[in-house]
């Protein structure tokens, strides 16, 4: 490897300046702004006070939304693991010649816009949606029952968005397992199930945990499913940010909530990286390309 001084820096200059000026500096601005004051006239006054943070924690209203966000993120992670592991295992073990097609299909939702995937649930779960229509037709119910605008429908939207990430992460780590290990286990008398439990499952855990982290982070930072599929009681922390910034133009408070969200996620990612290493996550995106 060369160690010549300026060349790599010249190549890196555009990318580094983009990320520095468009990400690092703006994020610093959020932190600075979160200490500012908002005048009754709506103007922002430079200041250094913790009023915005105090407002968040003054009663249980906002912390409740924070806890709900964490709870919903955990539920989403759990459901994604339960729904995602078996399909990933299927792609890994399948010998069908359509295996590549199956894998491509699970990636297909990645290419469909998030807003379409979210709103598509209204067609399925709405009062005159597919499920109600079907149940009315077969006479199981007399009047449509409402399935939308609760935590369940929000979770459906979130899973639709995040499940492919989980499947991909698990699949990439399964694919990295040396298949001769399985043969060795089988030849030593393990049953199929024992071989899975003792060899495949433990070796696929890095992919599972990488998928969990990614799904958790993406869930905690999203506002679209609660906004479109949820009711007033299902708001998450990103919805608060959206409201403060877009609807009420309360920049300092919106910034403070962003900092709270960012610190929560940073703490989680940092802890994860400390003990498990974060590179596994990036692997899945590289596998995705080839």
Partner 1 sequence: MKQFSPGWTLIKLYTFLVYLFLFAPIVVVCVLAFNPKQFGIFPMEGFSLRWFVRLMHNDAIIEAFQNSLILGSLTALISTGVGILAALAFIRFEFPGKNTLNTLLLSPIMIPEVVLGVALLLFLRWLQLPKSFALLLIGHVVLTLPYVLLIVQARLVGIKKEYEEAAKSLGANAFQTFREVTFPLLLPAILAGALFAFTISFDDITATLFWATARNQTVPVKIFSMLRNSISPEINALGAVMIVLTVATPLLAGYLSRRFSKLKT
Residue 54 is a binding residue for partner 1 (CB under 8 A): no
User: Least distance from C-beta 237 to partner 1, angstroms?
Assistant: 9
Task: Figure out which of the listed residues 75, 81, 99, 126 binds partner 1, where binding follows CB under 8 A.
Answer: 126
Task: Figure out which of the listed residues 228, 243, 250, 276 binds partner 1, where binding follows CB under 8 A.
Answer: 228
Q: 198, 233 in Cβ contact below 8 A?
A: no
Residue 155 is a binding residue for partner 1 (CB under 8 A): no
User: Least distance from C-beta 49 to partner 1, angstroms?
Assistant: 18
Which residues within the stretch 187-216 sit at the binding site for partner 1 (CB under 8 A)? 192-193, 214
Q: Cβ neighbours of residue 167 under 8 Å, at least 6 residues apart?
A: 84, 87, 88, 91, 106, 211
Element (H, E) at 37: strand 37-38
Q: Return the range that interacts with partner 1 (CB under 8 A); candidates 55-63, 90-98, 168-176, 203-211.
A: 90-98
State the number of CA atoms in the 13 A half-sphere of 219 facing the CB: 31
Q: Which two tokens stand for residue 217?
A: 């982070």
Select 51 or 129, whichever has its Cβ closest to partner 1.
Answer: 129
Residue ranges of the alpha helices (H) in 94-150? 99-107, 114-125, 130-137
| Distance (Å, whole) CA 47 – CA 37 | 6
User: Least distance from C-beta 203 to partner 1, angstroms?
Assistant: 18
> Judged by CB under 8 A, how many residues of this single chain contact partner 1?
93
| Distance (Å, whole) CA 183 – CA 186 | 5
Residue 121 is a binding residue for partner 1 (CB under 8 A): yes
Which residues within the stretch 162-191 sit at the binding site for partner 1 (CB under 8 A)? 163-164
Select 36 or 59, whichever has its Cβ closest to partner 1.
Answer: 36
């Amino acid at each position: 490897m060369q160690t010549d001084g300026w060349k790599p820096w010249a190549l890196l200059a555009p990318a580094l300046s983009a990320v520095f000026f468009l990400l690092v500096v703006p994020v610093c601005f959020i932190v600075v702004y979160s200490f500012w004051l908002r005048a009754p006239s709506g103007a922002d006054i430079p200041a250094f006070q913790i009023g915005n943070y105090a407002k968040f924690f003054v009663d249980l209203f906002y912390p409740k939304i924070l806890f709900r966000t964490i709870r919903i993120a955990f539920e989403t992670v759990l459901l994604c693991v339960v729904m995602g592991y078996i399909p990933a295992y299927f792609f890994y073990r399948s010998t069908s010649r359509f295996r590549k097609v199956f894998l491509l299909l699970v990636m297909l939702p990645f290419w469909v816009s998030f807003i379409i995937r979210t709103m598509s649930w209204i067609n399925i779960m709405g009062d005159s949606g597919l499920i109600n229509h079907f149940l009315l037709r077969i006479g199981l119910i007399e009047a449509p029952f409402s399935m939308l605008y609760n935590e369940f429908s929000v979770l459906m939207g979130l899973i639709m968005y995040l499940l492919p990430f989980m499947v991909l992460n698990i699949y990439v780590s399964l694919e990295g397992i040396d298949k001769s290990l399985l043969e060795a286990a089988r030849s030593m008398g393990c049953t199929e199930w024992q071989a899975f439990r003792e060899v495949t499952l433990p070796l696929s855990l890095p992919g599972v945990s990488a998928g969990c982290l990614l799904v958790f982070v993406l869930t905690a930072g999203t506002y679209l499913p609660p906004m479109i599929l949820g009711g007033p009681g299902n708001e998450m922390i990103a919805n608060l940010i959206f409201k403060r910034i877009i609807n009420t133009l309360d920049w300092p408070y919106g910034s403070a909530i962003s900092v709270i969200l960012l610190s929560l996620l940073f703490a989680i990612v940092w802890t994860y990286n400390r003990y498990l290493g974060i590179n596994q996550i990036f692997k899945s995106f590289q596998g995705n390309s080839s």
